[in-house]
Amino acid sequence: MLAIDGLYHRYAGASAPALDGVQLQAARGQVLGLLGPNGAGKTTLISHLSGALAPQRGQITVDGQPLAAVRARTPTRIGVAPQELAFYPPLTVMENLACFAAACGLRGARRAGRIAACLDFARLQPFADVRAEQLSGGLKRRLNLAIALLPEPELLLLDEPTVGVDPQSRAFVLDAIRALADAGTAVIYASHYMEEIEAIADRVLILDHGRVLRDGPLDALLAEGATVLTLRADGLSAERLQRWGQVEQGPDPWCLRLAAHQRPSAVLVALEAEGVDVRQAEFGRASLEQLFMALTHRALRD
Ligand SMILES: Nc1ncnc2c1ncn2[C@@H]1O[C@H](COP(=O)(O)OP(=O)(O)OP(=O)(O)O)[C@@H](O)[C@H]1O
C-alpha cells in the first residue's frame, strides 16, 4: 500500500542526514514495527508520512500515487497519533472528538457514527464528559488514538503510543492496534519497547543514523540470532568459550555465537566435563533486543 524509496532528509545546518536512502513498504492488514534508538530518524520518517515534511530526495507513494497527491485528494487516508498528545486539554473527550470529526470533514449521521465507534473502540464512553486535561496518562493516549481513527484511515501511524501508559491501558492499546490491522488497516508502529514490537508486529524495520539496518518478517529476524548460546556459569572465561565460536558478550550472561557445525549440546557436555558449573543455558530464537544490540551496538535508550 505504502512504498518509500530512497528517502533522504537533512535538516538545515545539520552535519549528517536524519534519513539517508530509506526504503520501506507497508501492507494492508499488517503491523510494521519501526525500531530505532534516540535520534535514529523515526520521527523524521513519520513527519514525511504525515505531510509535515516534504522529501528532499526519494519518493513516497500510496498505491502507486505520489503521497502529496493522495493527501491533497483525500487527506484522511492516513491517520497519525503523534508522540505529543494532540487534543484540546480544556475540552471534554466528547467535545474533542466532535471538534476533530468536524475538522476532518465528517458530517451528519456519518459523523455521529464515527464518534460513537471511536469512543467505543477506545473504551472511553465512561469518560465522555470528562475534560481531557483531567484524564490519566493512559486515557489521554487512548483519546489520541481515538482521534486518529475518526476518519477510518487506511494507513495508521503511531509514534510511541504507549509512553507513560499503565500496563492495563498498554495491553488494551496493543490489542486494539492488532485488531485494526486484522480488519485491514496498514499500521506503522514506532516504539522503543521491543517486547511490544515482538508482540504485535508482522514485519520489523530497524533504523539507525537514518539508515535501514534490517527489514523483514519478525520471525526471520529472530531466527538470525538462532546460533547464539547464552550461558550463566561459574568458572567460565572468554578464552574457554572461543573454541566453539565468537564470544559476543559476557560475563553473566555469556553470549557465544556458535561457529558452523558446532552444537550447543557439545559445548555443555565439554564444560561439564571440565568442571564448569552451568546454572542456565538458552539456545534458539534470539530476542529482538539481542538482534538490535548486535546491529546497532547500543541500547534503544541512550
Ligand atoms: N528540527 C530539527 N532540526 C535539526 N535537526 C533535527 C531536527 N529534528 C531532528 N533532528 C535530528 O535528526 C536526527 C533524527 O531525529 P528524529 O527525531 O527523527 O529521531 P527519532 O528516531 O525519532 O528519535 P527519538 O526516539 O529520540 O524521538 C537526530 O540527529 C536529530 O537530532
Q: How many A from CA of 296 to the centre of ligand 1? A: 17
Spatial contact of 166 and 9, defined as CB atoms under 8 Å apart: no
What pLDDT digit, counting tens, does each position of 119-178 carry? 998 999 999 999 999 999 889 989 999 999 999 999 999 988 888 788 888 888 899 899
CA dihedral (120, 183, 178, 289) in degrees, to 10, reads: -150
For a mutational test of ligand 1's pocket, the pick from 11, 20, 212, i.e. the residue with the most ligand atoms closer than 8 A to its C-beta, is 11
Does the residue 302 lie in any domain? Answer: no
- Rounded distance from Cα 209 to ligand 1 centre (Å): 10
Task: Please say whether the dihedral angle defined by the alpha carbons of residues 234, 237, 243 and 246, taken in this order, is positive or negative.
Answer: positive
Q: Among 12, 42, 21, 4, which Cα is nearest to 197's?
A: 42
Sign of CA dihedral 167, 169, 171, 173: negative
Per the document, the length of the chain is: 302
Residue 86: name the closest of 11, 31, 19, 161 by CA: 161
Q: 260 lies in which domain range?
A: 227-284
* Ligand 1 pocket, Cβ-based, cut-off 6 angstroms: 11, 14, 18, 36, 38-44
Please say whether the beta carbons of 221 and 294 come within 8 A.
no
- The CA distance from 153 to 26, in Å, is 14
Q: Report pLDDT for 209.
A: 93
Say if residue 191 is in the same domain as residue 170.
yes
Ligand 1 site-directed mutation target among 7, 38, 48, most atoms within 8 Å of CB: 38
Q: Is residue 107 part of a domain?
A: yes
| Cα 144 to averaged position of ligand 1 atoms, centre (Å) | 22
Examine the domain organization and report whether 173 and 270 are in the same domain: no
- Say yes or no: 42 and 188 in one domain: yes
Which of 196, 119, 218 has the alpha carbon at shortest distance from 206?
218
What's the ipTM? 0.97
Domain membership flag for residue 65: yes
Return the ligand 1 atom nearest residue 210 CA. Answer: 14
For the entire predicted model, the pTM comes to 0.82
Interval 68-89 mean pLDDT: 89
264 and 190 in a single domain? The answer is no
